[in-house]
Homo-oligomer: A and B are copies of this chain.
């Protein structure tokens, strides 16, 4: 089954390690078939980047011969990955070719999301557009995982049926969860706010290969795949504070899949005790619980972030002070992260994106005062436009990205 990791691989070429001696990881030898699959991806990528695009221009852009492009396009058309629009404008001599574009039908991606208080599903086409979606409130905290997943499947069935009626054919599904996952093993290692621990997910769902991924990671990937910076610290905060690191256009997981625990970076070594057992972690200053405590609010279940934003908009002084303190602590921790990791951008994503008006000033001030050994511009910190919609979109785009990276893979062809 496909793993989310495939979406980060460099396609059929992929990585290798050749140390001077010992311990070499041997790559597979290059082959004709591998070359063809690589070139299929090359042409499809050119169409994605430059559509509408004639075959002649595809040849020019990719460096392949026109004959090779024509042969590859036949395959892409047959599999429903590209469509012909009409004659392409051309300054060239000879018969004008039909312009190619990504198909608005055919292979598609299914995104699924289990939140602490909602369930959601959507289908995205090859162009990255959401074509069908649904979202329902659901009290998932501490609820049996099987029950949650059964309800999610029912929701997804409706969305997939809607997409199929539009001529779309989902070929893969990815589930976003607020927790630590082992993507290779399709395992939720732990999702404390759901009460999930070592939850093994099935390999397929609705007959589609199923992958699972952390929601912050998917939010970051959604930003990336919609044209975001290639090197980003993507903060995702709500019940907990996490970050996804994107490096060179790839998700950075760390050696054990634990990267991005921004919430447990020490802000003040002697600060208050954290649930993790340490002292002075960022979460003790900027986590939802800490902010609500500092704000003196005891909110009802439901969308607490929206309620916080409402109080802040109303100008409640304690709420403003609590958000100012949270923004400052976020900025201190991020200043360390920026000095260490050197991202091109820091993005405030997830539900906290809706608190940006009140968090950003403190974050900006700390970054400006503490990131001094390298250039740092205020504009390098921004609020995600996708906000809490990011993870679901990212989940659906995982399959699209996999198709784009290797359109000749068996899971796409004749799927």
Given contacts A16-B10, A225-B19, A374-B256, whether A340 and B339 have CB atoms under 8 Å apart is no
Contact (Cβ within 8 A) B20 A369: no
| Contact (Cβ within 8 A) A19 B224 | yes
User: Is A401 in contact with chain B by the CB < 8 A criterion?
Assistant: yes
Q: Is the CB of B15 within 8 A of A248?
A: yes
Q: Are A373 and B276 touching (Cβ within 8 A)?
A: yes
Task: Please state if A64 and B401 are interface contacts (CB–CB under 8 Å).
Answer: no
For A44, list chain B residues within 8 Å (CB): 18
Q: A26-B45, A29-B39, A62-B26 are in contact. Are A373 and B20 (CB under 8 A)?
A: no
Q: Report yes or no: B126 in contact with A20, Cβ–Cβ below 8 A.
A: yes
Tell me whether B20 and A15 are in contact (CB under 8 A): no
A341 adjacent to B259 (CB under 8 Å): yes
A372 in contact (CB, < 8 A): yes
Q: Which of B24, B332, B339, B373 contacts A46 (CB 8 A)?
A: B24
The interface residues of chain A, by DSSP majority, are classed as loop
Interface size on A, residues (CB 8 A): 96
A327-350 vs B, CB cutoff 8 Å, 1 = contact: the mask equals: 000001101110111111000000
Stretch in A136-144, A145-153, A264-272, A384-392 with 4+ CB within 8 Å of B = A264-272
Contacts of A24 in B (CB 8 A): 45-46, 48-49
Q: Is the CB of B62 within 8 A of A21?
A: no
Question: Considering the chains assembled together, what is the distance between the CA atoms of A225 and B24 in angstroms?
Answer: 10
Contact at A332–B38, with CB atoms within 8 Å? no
- For the complex, is A154 an interface residue (Cβ under 8 Å from B)? no
A17 CB, nearest partner CB in chain B, Å: 5
A20 touches B127 (CB 8 A): yes
* Interface residue? A255 (CB, 8 A): yes
Complex Cα gap A64–B267 (Å): 54
Q: B residues within 8 A CB of A63?
A: 26, 28-29
Interface centre among A45, A245, A404 (most CB of B within 10 A): A45
Interface centre among A20, A24, A372, A404 (most CB of B within 10 A): A20
Among residues of B, the one whose C-beta sits closest to the C-beta of A405 is: B18
CB distance from A161 to the nearest CB of B (A): 24
Assess whether A27 is interfacial by the CB under 8 Å rule: yes
In the complex, per-residue mask of A250-262: 1 if CB is within 8 Å of any chain B CB, else 0: 0011111111111
* Interface assignment of A227: CB less than 8 Å from any CB of chain B: yes
In contact, B248 and A230 (Cβ under 8 angstroms): no
- The answer to whether A341 and B254 touch across the interface, beta carbons within 8 angstroms, is yes
Q: How far is the CA of A401 from the CA of B18 in the complex (A)?
A: 7
Nearest 5 CB-CB pairings of A with B:
A254-B342, A231-B255, A255-B344, A258-B374, A13-B13
| A contact residues vs B (CB 8 Å cutoff) | 10-11, 13-24, 26-30, 34-35, 38-39, 41-42, 44-46, 48-49, 61-64, 68, 102, 126-128, 224-227, 229-231, 243, 245, 247-249, 252-269, 276-279, 332-333, 335-337, 339-344, 369-375, 397, 400-401, 404-405
A-B contact pairs, 5 of them (CB 8 A): A10-B15, A11-B18, A21-B127, A29-B68, A256-B344
Given A17-B230, A259-B342, A340-B341, 19 other A-B residues pairs in contact with their CB atoms under 8 A: A11-B16, A13-B14, A13-B15, A13-B16, A19-B224, A19-B225, A20-B225, A21-B49, A22-B227, A24-B45, A30-B38, A229-B255, A254-B341, A256-B342, A259-B340, A261-B342, A266-B335, A278-B372, A333-B336
